[in-house]
Amino acid sequence: MKKRMSLAVSLVVFVFLVMVMSVVIGRLCTYLLEYFFGSSFLANGYIGFFALLLTSVTIGTSVTALLSRWMVKPVRNLIEAIEEVAEGDFTVTVQGSNIPELESLAVSFNKMVRELAGIEMLRRDFVNNFSHEFKTPIVSIKGFAKLLQQGGLSREEAAEYLDIIIQESQRLVDLSTNVLNLSKVESTEIIREKEAYPLDEQIRRAILILEPKWSAKNLSLEVDLESINIYNNVPLLQQIWINLLDNAVKFADNDGKLEVSLSSINSWIRFSLRDNGQGMDEETKQHIFDKFYQGDTSHAMSGNGLGLTLVEKIVRLCSGQIEVESSPGKGSTFTVFLPSGLPEDYIRS
């Protein structure tokens, strides 16, 4: 293992070596002058002093220039690497150094570049996926609008095409809303505008909001909600329940059942939602919270792959956890854990 000196010790050693080498070489030059010109040449104090001074300064400057190039080389390499990163090259790395401070700087720089490369890749994927998801309904709307414009359609065909246009328009609205909500959540670090309210009532309202969807599939609901109060942001948590319930209804089998429960466990609030759909394989489970990811590759189900991403972001923002249990043919269970802390004044009242 290489021995490493701190930056301060390295500078001290550097200065010491310059001084020693300057004196030694200066003294050597003095002996040479005495040898060639005789001792009488340096007998005059001023001549001897200035000769020694000039020699020491010349030698010291030369030695300093050589050693400083070696000392500053890691910093110079880092500056060049920073310029490359500024130009968009996230593959650049810098070598370490025997000096701990410069070694730590190199490690941090390389880690930063890797993070930037990951962010850039996610940005490109997001733009590509968003462009695809946004373009598809627009192309569909344009196509059916042209058919309607050409005329010669029966009333049934015209009504069907209008329904498709309305559905695709709503799909665009949902996509734009989810992207805006996701952008807002990702830029939020601290949740503000909190209030204490009954969480069980909020979940019941979310179930009622989605009644047209689960009624259309003739789903039965088994609801077991414990009376629990929570101190949090109302719209953010409402988004969790709406998105999870909407996802469960979407993938539940017709005439199936949804199981919704809410309970308090120690210092946590536990929300569970189970459907009897087709379930997910391991690969789908690993990517279920990725942006624009859809386990249904045929796109037979409506959606844009942002609903669960938004749920996961909000849960983490609330210092909570979300878990998924699923297997093919056995449905899926989403479980959300949220801290149950309440302000003291609310508890006293």
Residues in Cβ contact with 36 at an 8 Å cutoff, skipping those fewer than 6 apart: none
What is the four-CA torsion angle of 40, 43, 49, 53, rounded to 10 degrees? 20
- Residues lower than pLDDT 50 in the chain: 1-3, 297-304, 345-349
- Which tokens hold the place of 110? 């390389």
Q: Write down the residue that tokens 């340096």 correspond to.
A: 42
pLDDT score of 346: 47
Helices and strands (H, E) in the chain, number of each type: 10, 7
- pLDDT tens digit string along 172-229? 877 777 666 666 666 565 677 788 899 999 999 989 888 888 888 899 999 999 999 9
- pLDDT tens digit string along 299-309? 444 444 567 88
Q: In order of start, what are the domains of the chain with their CATH numbers?
A: 7-89 (no CATH), 129-186 (1.10.287.130), 195-348 (3.30.565.10)
